[in-house]
């Protein structure tokens, strides 16, 4: 499915204590105001694309997801899914939509997991043999077979999220909105979820918008990153292009004997961290003279020399610091 946001603004009305007046008056009186969660967002996600949606807390990611799901309407601008208004056509969209978010359970809290799945089969009117095939595959891949008889409320966070993901995928949605699908999960749960999502992209390629703070997940699943800051998009491009933004810099990390004096480094390198046994220098790619490395490797007081490219996380941090 194709998602399109055009000049989307979304504000929330809030009531808060006034900034002036006595303590009691501030406690009792409330003035209303507005929080601008989205300030003119233009975004297009094409059929089968997988987009990692990243941003700091309060940047506007969940608000975007709710608009696409038709739960909220924009204050101004236009949101469409396959050319239709997702709010007006919520019923029709729900048959094609999978939406996973911490605050939005698709399973029934008091029912055993398997009963919730059976209810979902009926809600989505999934043909029993097809349901069984999808169900068995997902339950197996997400490793929740042992928990099918357990009421959802008794599951750990990791198992509940795995179980929710099965529930989200049973009707094979064409549009998948995942709001922080791996938050708070251990490495096994995270890997199981990432594996299933990667397979899904290969098999049925739904359109995927995934909000996440965890760049490892985004890198594992998506090929495009959209970055939002204070309600405005500040980056939209391929992950590789984003990585290349910081790709011109390398860090030379030298592990050496305590207090060892290193040979002077030439021109453009900037000194980075220095402890008694580790010294780092940042330099532009291609500007480190080969002779220097030979000298360092030959130095008996130098234990190890590494050249590191910046991680995606470092590049993104740099973008925030530069005001993107």
Binding site for ligand ATP (CB under 6 A): 12, 14, 35, 37, 55, 57-63
Nearest to 170 by CA among 114, 253, 237: 114
Question: What are the beta bridge partners of residue 238?
Answer: 224
Q: Please give the span between the terminal C-alpha atoms of the chain, in angstroms, as a whole number.
A: 30
Our CB check for ligand ATP shows the closer of 60 and 173 to be 60
Q: CB burial class (10 A; 0-12, 13-18, 19+) of residue 255?
A: middle
Write down the least CB distance from residue 60 to ligand ATP, Å.
4
Our CB check for ligand ATP shows the closer of 54 and 302 to be 54
Write down the least CB distance from residue 57 to ligand ATP, Å.
3
Write down the least CB distance from residue 85 to ligand ATP, Å.
20
Question: What are the beta bridge partners of residue 252?
Answer: 281, 307
d(CA 135, CA 172): 11
Q: CB burial class (10 A; 0-12, 13-18, 19+) of residue 15?
A: exposed
Write down the least CB distance from residue 173 to ligand ATP, Å.
21
Our CB check for ligand ATP shows the closer of 111 and 234 to be 234
Our CB check for ligand ATP shows the closer of 212 and 279 to be 212
d(CA 116, CA 279): 57
Write down the least CB distance from residue 174 to ligand ATP, Å.
23
DSSP 117: H
Nearest to 295 by CA among 267, 250, 256, 259: 256
Our CB check for ligand ATP shows the closer of 38 and 45 to be 38
Write down the least CB distance from residue 111 to ligand ATP, Å.
28
Our CB check for ligand ATP shows the closer of 33 and 289 to be 33
DSSP-based three-state secondary structure for 61: helix
């Amino acid at each position: 499915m194709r998602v399109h946001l055009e000049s989307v603004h979304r504000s929330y009305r809030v009531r808060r204590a006034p900034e002036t007046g006595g303590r009691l008056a501030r406690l009792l009186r409330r003035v209303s105001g507005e929080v601008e969660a989205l300030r003119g967002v233009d975004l297009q996600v094409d059929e089968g694309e997988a987009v990692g949606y990243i941003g700091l807390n309060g940047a506007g990611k969940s608000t975007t997801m709710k608009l696409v799901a038709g739960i909220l309407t924009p204050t101004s601008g236009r949101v469409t899914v396959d050319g239709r208004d997702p709010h007006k056509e919520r019923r029709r969209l729900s048959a094609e939509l999978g939406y996973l978010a911490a605050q939005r359970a698709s399973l029934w809290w008091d029912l055993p997991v398997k009963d919730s799945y059976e209810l979902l089969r009926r809600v989505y009117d999934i043909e029993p043999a097809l349901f069984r095939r999808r169900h068995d595959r997902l339950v197996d891949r997400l490793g929740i077979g042992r928990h099918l008889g357990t009421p959802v409320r008794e599951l750990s966070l990791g198992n509940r999220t795995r179980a929710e993901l099965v529930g989200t995928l049973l009707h094979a949605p064409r549009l998948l909105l995942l709001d922080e699908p791996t938050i708070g999960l251990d490495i096994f749960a995270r890997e199981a979820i990432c594996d299933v999502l990667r397979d899904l992209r290969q098999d049925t390629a739904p359109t995927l918008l995934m909000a996440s703070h965890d760049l490892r997940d985004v890198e594992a699943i998506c090929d495009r990153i959209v970055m939002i800051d204070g309600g405005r998009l500040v980056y939209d491009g391929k992950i590789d292009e984003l990585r290349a933004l910081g790709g011109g810099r390398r860090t030379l990390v030298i592990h050496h004997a305590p207090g060892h004096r290193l040979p002077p480094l030439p021109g453009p390198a900037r000194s980075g961290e220095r402890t008694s046994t580790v010294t780092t220098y940042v330099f532009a790619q291609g500007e480190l003279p080969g002779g220097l490395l030979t000298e360092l490797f030959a130095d008996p007081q130098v234990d190890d020399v590494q050249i590191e490219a910046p991680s995606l996380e470092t590049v993104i941090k740099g973008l925030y610091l530069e005001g993107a």
